[in-house]
A and B are shown apart, each in its own frame.
Chain A
Amino acid sequence: MALLELRNVSKIYHLGGEEIRALDDISLDIEGGEFCSIIGPSGSGKSTLMHILGCLDSPSLGSIRLDGIEVARASQRELAHVRNRKIGFVFQFFNLLPKLNVVQNVELPMIYAGIGGSERRQRALKALEMVELTNRLKNRPSQLSGGQQQRVAIARALVNDPKIIFADEPTGNLDTHTGEIILALFRQLSQEGRTVILVTHNPEIAAVTPRRIEIRNGKIADRVDERLAGLDRLAAGQPATLPEAN
């Protein structure tokens, strides 16, 4: 059984009597341990798909099974629980809480999980060690660079040991070099056996992932647009610039 199973999922918005199908009858399986990217032009519905996959939103039609749990009709409370335990999010704008310092930010998901103080601190430190930020524990997010902030966000996403990590344009707000470091981190996570799903419109990033899902007009495209997926570069013998994860 796949980790994520989507069956005939649609998301329909009603805008002034007009019906807009942001997602139109999508069926999709993602296996545990897969490293895949969701690509597509803006407005294609890839963000909507990620929100639904990430249990941030519920589909209008269809069913979703995440790790064997039916989440399409789950209550808000159950969804919150699923997000907390099974999913880690990394956002384009980092979304760290500005009033909390680095450790407190990383501890936040564990607070919602009801984990006690000392274990929380220990696990937060471990996660921060992984992203190599143990020297900035007491800093506020505003005192960190973009790359550092995104690493804190990754540590936060990892800290509850989730099955899936979703990243929405994780390098979108970073310069190329920092973006590569972040991407290397995701690759490393994938190699450690985690399921990582990147949402991006950056072909260079899509090129890194073994599997690419292209969304076009709310449907999964039959054939991946090679230019969008960065495949044209691979074909031209121009490997995606990516430092090996160490």
Chain B
Amino acid sequence: MNLFNTIFIGFKEIWSHKFRSLLTMFGVVLGVASLVGMSAIIKGMENGMRESMVAMGGADKVVIQNQSVPAHQDHLADQAPGKTMRDVMALQASAPLIRLVSPEMEVEDVAITRGQKMTQPTECVGVWPAVLEMNLHTLEHGRFFNDMDDANASPVCVIGTGIRDDLFGRPEAVGREIIPLGEQILINGQPFTIIGMFQHYMGEQEAKERELAKLAKPQDPSQAGPKRQRGWGRHGGWAFQRKNMTVYMPLNTAWIRFRAAGDKDGILDPRLTDIDIKVLNVERLEASLQQARNVLLQSHRGIEDFTFQTQENQLETISKQIKNARLSGGIIAGISLLVGGIGIMNIMLASINERVREIGTCKALGATGLDVFVQILVESVVLALLGAVAGVAASYLLVDVLALLSPTSNSPVITPMAMAVGVGFSALVGISAGLIPAIKAANLQPIQALRYE
């Protein structure tokens, strides 16, 4: 008996019970849709996380962080120097494997005002020009501050577009792009001049949306009130949002103008918030960090009050999160597929009970047990595969609905891999669900089947 005929008869059988088959398939549809949909959302998440990683400054970036001194150095804790410019100088002078050192001194609790408008930046930091390369910033307008500004502790700053949006207005709202070079703003009450502005950073999703917005017709001006946003937060993803809400000023400016209150022995608090370094060669990250550590131990008089936070660590965290999300998504999809499979098995068992007479007739006409077995199995697999195909189609819908319900900045990506896995698994479910009914049907004795009333 050839497979084509078997499949043909299988389809006929399914078609003759349309509603029942549809209901049966529904379990598989849900399973596959959730599998494909979940993996699409996780893929989107993954893309977003990787994008954010790059936005935060590449894999070769390492952040030197504070750490409480180890237990055996407890008695030295009050002598721990923290991160200072000494470390920066030492690293520059004696750590050739470190390519770039960028000291940062954060000004905390900052409110920036201009007239009646106020905003709070995500970071307001005193930096060196090295920060541009460190954090992958691109200056689009004006200039960055130079050594003179640093030496004079000039009240100048370079801002991100988010700050401009808040203090001067969004280009979308104002209708034109404002470039506020030379404008004065107040940072915690102190006047600063804007001398530069970064480009607008955005993820792929926002870039796409902007492209679309350009193509779209202009908004109906009669619409009342401001345009509302969907969901929480702003567009663009947190990493980009964060980057756009940056205010940079010369390091000395931050130190002298904002750290004056926290003096220590008559010297302004010299401690830096962060030292970011970039290594020469990512492949020799371990060696580079070892070198930096040796240098820092020198400048810290042997007190180990620092640690290195690599992007690799973050990458690990990210991939762990993705793995967890995959696992939970997979479990949910697996359970729904299982339920779908049980549904199929149930209906196949009912179906062969109904068709005992038919099966007996087929056997009397010369069908072997194998013929009957294959027939039932094919029906079950066809059911599951039809469900899988419908499920893949439904997953597109599901993804759209989910994106509507919980907007993320990263659009879900339906991958061919996920589809293949979904269809493959449903075939597997179809086979395993059909196995018991098929064995039962194959073992029916022709006379028992014919007598069955």
Give A residues with C-beta under 8 Å from B.
51, 54, 56-57, 76-77, 80-81, 83-85, 89, 91, 95-100, 108-109, 111-114, 156, 160
**Which residues of chain B are near A56, meaning CB under 8 Å?**
364, 446-447, 450
Assembled-state Cα–Cα distance A56/B366 (Å): 10
Distance of A139 from chain B, by nearest CB (Å):
15
Binds A, one of B33-41, B47-55, B355-363: B355-363
A156 with B365: in contact, given A56-B450, A95-B357, A97-B358 (CB under 8 Å)? Answer: yes
Most buried by B among A76, A77, A85, A160: A76
New A-B pairs, 11, CB < 8 Å, besides A56-B447, A111-B1? A57-B446, A76-B368, A77-B369, A80-B371, A84-B366, A84-B367, A112-B1, A112-B367, A113-B366, A114-B1, A160-B366
Beta-carbon contact of B450 and A85 below 8 Å: no
**Which residues of chain A are near B362, meaning CB under 8 Å?**
97, 108, 112
**Which residues of chain B are near A95, meaning CB under 8 Å?**
357-358, 360-361, 364, 450
CB-nearest residue of chain B to A76: B369
**Which residues of chain B are near A77, meaning CB under 8 Å?**
368-370
Interface check B16, CB cutoff 8 A: yes
Q: Is the interface of B mostly helix, strand, loop or mixed?
A: helix
CB-nearest residue of chain B to A86: B366
Beta-carbon contact of B5 and A111 below 8 Å: yes
Assembled-state Cα–Cα distance A112/B369 (Å): 11
Beta-carbon contact of A112 and B447 below 8 Å: no
CB-nearest residue of chain A to B443: A76
CB-nearest residue of chain B to A48: B447
Interface check B116, CB cutoff 8 A: no
A83 with B366: in contact, given A97-B361, A111-B5 (CB under 8 Å)? Answer: yes
Beta-carbon contact of A108 and B369 below 8 Å: no
Distance of A100 from chain B, by nearest CB (Å):
7
Interface check B2, CB cutoff 8 A: yes
Assembled-state Cα–Cα distance A231/B76 (Å): 125
Distance of B192 from chain A, by nearest CB (Å):
83
Assembled-state Cα–Cα distance A156/B367 (Å): 14
Distance of B145 from chain A, by nearest CB (Å):
83
**Which residues of chain A are near B1, meaning CB under 8 Å?**
111-112, 114
Distance of B155 from chain A, by nearest CB (Å):
87
CB-nearest residue of chain B to A120: B5
Beta-carbon contact of B368 and A99 below 8 Å: no
Beta-carbon contact of A112 and B368 below 8 Å: yes
Could you show 5 A-B contacts with beta carbons less than 8 Å apart?
A: A76-B368, A80-B363, A91-B361, A98-B358, A112-B371
Assembled-state Cα–Cα distance A96/B9 (Å): 14
Contact with A along B275-305 (1 / 0, CB 8 A): 0000000000000000000000000000000
Most buried by A among B12, B364, B446: B364
CB-nearest residue of chain A to B449: A56
Distance of B347 from chain A, by nearest CB (Å):
16
Partner of A57, one of B13, B368, B371, B445: B445
Beta-carbon contact of A99 and B369 below 8 Å: no
A80 with B5: in contact, given A91-B450, A99-B12, A99-B13 (CB under 8 Å)? Answer: no
Beta-carbon contact of B12 and A80 below 8 Å: no
Distance of A200 from chain B, by nearest CB (Å):
17
Interface residues contributed by chain B, number (CB under 8 Å): 25
CB-nearest residue of chain B to A92: B450
A100 with B12: in contact, given A57-B447, A95-B450, A111-B5 (CB under 8 Å)? Answer: yes
Assembled-state Cα–Cα distance A96/B450 (Å): 12
Assembled-state Cα–Cα distance A163/B446 (Å): 20
Beta-carbon contact of B368 and A80 below 8 Å: yes
The 7 closest A-B pairs by CB, nearest first: A84-B366, A95-B361, A80-B368, A112-B366, A109-B365, A56-B446, A83-B366
CB-nearest residue of chain B to A57: B447
Distance of B2 from chain A, by nearest CB (Å):
7
Assembled-state Cα–Cα distance A96/B357 (Å): 10
Beta-carbon contact of B365 and A112 below 8 Å: yes
Distance of A75 from chain B, by nearest CB (Å):
10
Beta-carbon contact of B447 and A109 below 8 Å: no
CB-nearest residue of chain A to B370: A77
Assembled-state Cα–Cα distance A54/B363 (Å): 12
Beta-carbon contact of A83 and B450 below 8 Å: no
Distance of A38 from chain B, by nearest CB (Å):
16
Distance of A152 from chain B, by nearest CB (Å):
12
Assembled-state Cα–Cα distance A37/B450 (Å): 21
**Which residues of chain B are near A84, meaning CB under 8 Å?**
365-367
**Which residues of chain A are near B363, meaning CB under 8 Å?**
80, 83
Contact with A along B10-51 (1 / 0, CB 8 A): 001100100000000000000000000000000000000000
Distance of A113 from chain B, by nearest CB (Å):
7
CB-nearest residue of chain B to A54: B364
Assembled-state Cα–Cα distance A207/B101 (Å): 114
Assembled-state Cα–Cα distance A57/B445 (Å): 8
**Which residues of chain B are near A54, meaning CB under 8 Å?**
364
Beta-carbon contact of B369 and A83 below 8 Å: no
CB-nearest residue of chain B to A156: B365
Assembled-state Cα–Cα distance A80/B16 (Å): 28
Assembled-state Cα–Cα distance A44/B85 (Å): 111
**Which residues of chain B are near A109, meaning CB under 8 Å?**
365-366
**Which residues of chain B are near A85, meaning CB under 8 Å?**
366
Assembled-state Cα–Cα distance A89/B364 (Å): 7
Assembled-state Cα–Cα distance A14/B6 (Å): 38
Assembled-state Cα–Cα distance A99/B355 (Å): 11
Beta-carbon contact of B367 and A80 below 8 Å: yes
**Which residues of chain B are near A57, meaning CB under 8 Å?**
445-447
